[in-house]
Chains A and B, each alone.
Chain A
Amino acid sequence: MRARSYYHPLPSEGIRHPGVWLGVIGVTLAVVVLFDRILWISVPMILAVAIYYVCAPGVDWLKRLGLTHPQAVWVLALLVGIGCVGLSLASVPWLSSQIFHLQEQAPAYMDRGNALVVESLQWLETRFPALARSHLAEEAQTRMSGWTDGMLNRNVHALLGFLGTWLPSLLLVPYLTFFFLRDGANFKKLLMRGVPNAFFDKVMLLFHRMDYQIHQYFRGMMALTVLDTLTLGAGLWIIGRKFGVGGAVFGPSHALFLGFVCAVLAWLPYVGSAAGCGLVVLVCASEAPGRPVLLLSALVLFVLARLIDDFFYSPMTVGKSLNIHPLLTVVMIFVSGSVAGVPGLFLVLPVLGICSVAGEVFERVWFDEHLRARHAHAVALRKRAAAESLKM
C-alpha cells in the first residue's frame, strides 16, 4: 500500500477512443506472440522483473538504513544469495522425497483418475439411456488406457529435455535481476532523454504508472500464491484428519506441497484453477478410493478456496491493479491462449494491463492539441535555429 503514496493522483478516465483500444489489443497480442517466439529469453526476463519487484522494497529498506543505492543492491544480492543456497541445501531432502513420492504414485493416480472418469460416465449412462447408446464409457476407457501406457517414461524424457533446454536460460534470472535493481533508474533516465520536451511530463507519468502497475501485479501475485498455498494446504490437512487419511498425502507437508502446486497452477487464469481442482480430485480418488464424501469435501474445499480467493485475497493483493473490463479480460485470455499457447495465458493479463496504461497516456498526449502544438512550436524553433546556424 505504501507505493500508492508515490502514485500521482492523475484521475484515470480509461481509454475512450475505440481506435486506441484496438491498438492496445493489437499491441498486447503482438507482444504475447513475440514473447512466445523468444521464450528462452522472455521467460527469464519476466521472472527477473517479478523478482525485481519483490526485491525492490528490500533495497528501499536498506537505503533507509543509510546505504546508497549500489551498496543496498550489493548487500541485498549477497543476503538473497546466501538465503537461496541455505534454503536449497535445507529443502533438498524434503523436495526429493516429495518428487519421489509423486513419481511412485503417479501411475496409481493416473489409473485411479481413469477409473474415476469411467465410473462417472458409467453412472451417467445408467441414469440417461441416451448416453448409454453412444458407449461413451467404453470409448473413454479404450482411449485413456492407450494414452497412459508408457506415459511416465515419455514424461521423464520430456522432463530431462526440458531441464536441459531451460537450465542455462533460467541461470540468467539472478544476473538480470541484479542489473535491473542496480541500473533500472539509469535506464529510465536514458530512455527519457529521447522524449521531446513537450511530452516529457506526461511520459514520465506514464513510466511511473506502468512501474506502479507492474509492481502491484507481481507483488500481488506473490502474496496471492502464498495465501492460496496456506488456505488449500490447511484445508487438505483438515480434510485428511477428519477422514483419517492423513499420513501419506494429507499430512501437513504433503498437503502444503499440493496446495502450492495448485496455487502455482492458478497463475494460469481460469484454466489453471480447473487443472488444480482436477489434481486434488485425482489425489483424493487415489488415496481413498470408494469414499465419495472425501471427494465431495475436496471439491467443496476447492470451491470455497476459489470464493475466498476471488472475494478476499485477490482484492487485497492483485486488487484493481488491472483496471480492465472482465469481458475483455476473458476474451483476451482465450485469444492469446490460441495464438501463443500456455505462455500466452500466463502473459496476457500483465501485458494487457501495461498496454492499457500506455494506451491511456498515449491518448491523453496524442489527442491533446495543446501539447502537439507545443511540440510543433519547439520543432519549428529548432529548425529555425539550425537554419540560422547554417547561414552563419
Chain B
Amino acid sequence: MSLLTKFLRLLRPAPATRHWDVLHKIPLFQTLSRRELGIVELILHERSYLGDEVIFEEGEEGLGMYIILEGQVRVLRRGIIRKIVGAEEIAVLGPGESVGEIALLDGVKRSAAVIAKGPTRVLCLFQPEFLQLLHTHRLIGFKVTYELARGLARRFRGLMEQDPGSNMV
C-alpha cells in the first residue's frame, strides 16, 4: 500500500465508537453523531468495580462523571438522620445512565456517594480532558454543553416543583 493511499485512508471519518449502544442513549451525548461519539470515546477511561466497591464518596472533590456500561450502582446520601439510620439510598442506576455530570463543570464536592451494587463496568470522563475536548472540538462542545445545561434546567425545575415557596427564578 502506497504512502498516499495510507494518507488518504487517514482522511476518512474516525472509526465508530465501541460503546455506541450505551453512549448514544446518554442524554449528554444523544445529539452527537457516530463520528463525534468516536472522538469523545478517545478520552473515556473504562474501569471495573466489584459489588460494594466505592466509586466515589460523598463530600470528596468531584473530578469527572461516570457512565454505567454494565451492572448497577447505588447512589447514597447521608441525611440529617444519618446517625440513626446511616446513609439513605436515593437511587439505583443501571446501564446507559450516568452520575457526576456536575463535576464536569465545576470540581465541587460530591453531593452523594456511589457504590457498585454488583460487578460493574463504567466509563469515566475526566474533567480536564473534557474541557480540552470542548476547546478542540467546538461543535461537540456546543452540543454537549447545551445538553448539560438542559439537564441542569430540568433538575432545577424539579427542585422548584418540590419547593414551590422557593424564591429561585
Stretch at the interface among B67-75, B77-85, B133-141, B151-159: B133-141
Point out the residues of chain A lying under 8 angstroms from B57, CB to CB.
370, 374
A204 in contact with B63 (CB, 8 Å)? yes
Interface residues of B in 45-78 (CB under 8 A from A): 45, 47, 49-57, 61, 63-64
Given A6-B131, A68-B14, A74-B10, does the pair A197, B137 have CB atoms closer than 8 Å? no
| Dominant secondary structure of chain A at its interface with chain B | helix
How many residue pairs link A and B with beta carbons under 8 A? The number is: 76
User: In the bound complex, what is the Cα–Cα distance between A63 and B124 (angstroms)?
Assistant: 23
B50 in contact with A381 (CB, 8 Å)? yes
Point out the residues of chain A lying under 8 angstroms from B55, CB to CB.
197
A60 in contact with B135 (CB, 8 Å)? yes
Does residue B86 face the partner (Cβ distance < 8 Å to A)? no
Residue in chain B with minimal CB distance to A373: B54
A5 in contact with B131 (CB, 8 Å)? yes
Does residue A120 face the partner (Cβ distance < 8 Å to B)? no
User: In the bound complex, what is the Cα–Cα distance between A101 and B17 (angstroms)?
Assistant: 59
Question: Which of B124, B136, B137, B138 counts the most A-chain CB atoms under 10 A from its CB?
Answer: B136
Chain A residues touching B, range:
20 to 34
Given A7-B128, A60-B135, A377-B53, does the pair A185, B63 have CB atoms closer than 8 Å? no
Does residue A8 face the partner (Cβ distance < 8 Å to B)? yes
User: In the bound complex, what is the Cα–Cα distance between A186 and B43 (angstroms)?
Assistant: 9
Q: How far does the Cβ of A78 sit from chain B's closest Cβ, in whole Å?
A: 8
User: In the bound complex, what is the Cα–Cα distance between A264 and B52 (angstroms)?
Assistant: 57
B45 in contact with A192 (CB, 8 Å)? yes
User: In the bound complex, what is the Cα–Cα distance between A9 and B54 (angstroms)?
Assistant: 24
Point out the residues of chain A lying under 8 angstroms from B107, CB to CB.
8-10
A6 in contact with B132 (CB, 8 Å)? yes
Interface residues of A in 197-248 (CB under 8 A from B): 197-198, 200-201, 204-205, 208
User: In the bound complex, what is the Cα–Cα distance between A63 and B128 (angstroms)?
Assistant: 17
Does residue B127 face the partner (Cβ distance < 8 Å to A)? yes
User: In the bound complex, what is the Cα–Cα distance between A243 and B14 (angstroms)?
Assistant: 62
Q: How far does the Cβ of B35 sit from chain A's closest Cβ, in whole Å?
A: 8
Interface residues of A in 43-72 (CB under 8 A from B): 60, 63-64, 68-71
Given A8-B63, A64-B136, does the pair A201, B11 have CB atoms closer than 8 Å? no
Residue in chain A with minimal CB distance to B51: A381
Instruction: Indicate which residue in B7, B49, B127 contacts A74 across the interface (CB closer than 8 Å).
Output: B7
Point out the residues of chain B lying under 8 angstroms from A385, CB to CB.
50
Instruction: Indicate which residue in A8, A74, A197, A377 contacts B128 across the interface (CB closer than 8 Å).
Output: A8
Instruction: Indicate which residue in A7, A10, A71 contacts B11 across the interface (CB closer than 8 Å).
Output: A71
Interface residues of A in 306-360 (CB under 8 A from B): none
Does residue B99 face the partner (Cβ distance < 8 Å to A)? no
User: In the bound complex, what is the Cα–Cα distance between A8 and B127 (angstroms)?
Assistant: 8
Interface residues of B in 79-133 (CB under 8 A from A): 107, 124, 126-129, 131-132
Q: How far does the Cβ of A215 sit from chain B's closest Cβ, in whole Å?
A: 11
Question: Which of A2, A8, A70 counts the most B-chain CB atoms under 10 A from its CB?
Answer: A8
A64 in contact with B138 (CB, 8 Å)? yes
Does residue B39 face the partner (Cβ distance < 8 Å to A)? yes
Given A8-B107, A8-B128, does the pair A205, B63 have CB atoms closer than 8 Å? yes
Does residue A37 face the partner (Cβ distance < 8 Å to B)? no
Residue in chain A with minimal CB distance to B6: A74
A200 in contact with B47 (CB, 8 Å)? yes
Q: How far does the Cβ of B103 sit from chain A's closest Cβ, in whole Å?
A: 10
B10 in contact with A374 (CB, 8 Å)? no
User: In the bound complex, what is the Cα–Cα distance between A6 and B132 (angstroms)?
Assistant: 6
Point out the residues of chain B lying under 8 angstroms from A291, CB to CB.
none
Does residue B42 face the partner (Cβ distance < 8 Å to A)? yes
B47 in contact with A197 (CB, 8 Å)? yes
User: In the bound complex, what is the Cα–Cα distance between A9 and B57 (angstroms)?
Assistant: 20
User: In the bound complex, what is the Cα–Cα distance between A90 and B50 (angstroms)?
Assistant: 62
User: In the bound complex, what is the Cα–Cα distance between A197 and B57 (angstroms)?
Assistant: 12
Residue in chain B with minimal CB distance to A185: B42
Does residue A382 face the partner (Cβ distance < 8 Å to B)? yes
A60 in contact with B136 (CB, 8 Å)? yes
A374 in contact with B50 (CB, 8 Å)? no
Does residue A189 face the partner (Cβ distance < 8 Å to B)? yes
Does residue A378 face the partner (Cβ distance < 8 Å to B)? yes
B7 in contact with A381 (CB, 8 Å)? no
User: In the bound complex, what is the Cα–Cα distance between A74 and B9 (angstroms)?
Assistant: 12
Q: How far does the Cβ of A94 sit from chain B's closest Cβ, in whole Å?
A: 32
A68 in contact with B53 (CB, 8 Å)? no
Point out the residues of chain B lying under 8 angstroms from A9, CB to CB.
107
Instruction: Indicate which residue in A71, A204, A378 contacts B50 across the interface (CB closer than 8 Å).
Output: A378
**Would you mind naming 18 contact pairs between A and B with Cβ atoms under 8 Å apart?**
A2-B135, A5-B135, A9-B107, A60-B136, A63-B137, A64-B138, A68-B13, A69-B42, A74-B10, A185-B43, A189-B45, A197-B53, A198-B54, A201-B61, A204-B45, A204-B64, A204-B126, A381-B53
Q: Which 3 A-B pairs have the closest CB atoms?
A: A63-B136, A201-B63, A68-B14
Other A-B pairs beyond A2-B135, A381-B51, 8, CB < 8 Å: A8-B127, A60-B132, A60-B136, A197-B49, A197-B53, A200-B45, A204-B64, A381-B50
Residues of A bordering B, CB below 8 Å: 2, 5-10, 60, 63-64, 68-71, 74, 185, 189, 192, 197-198, 200-201, 204-205, 208, 370, 374, 377-378, 381-382, 385
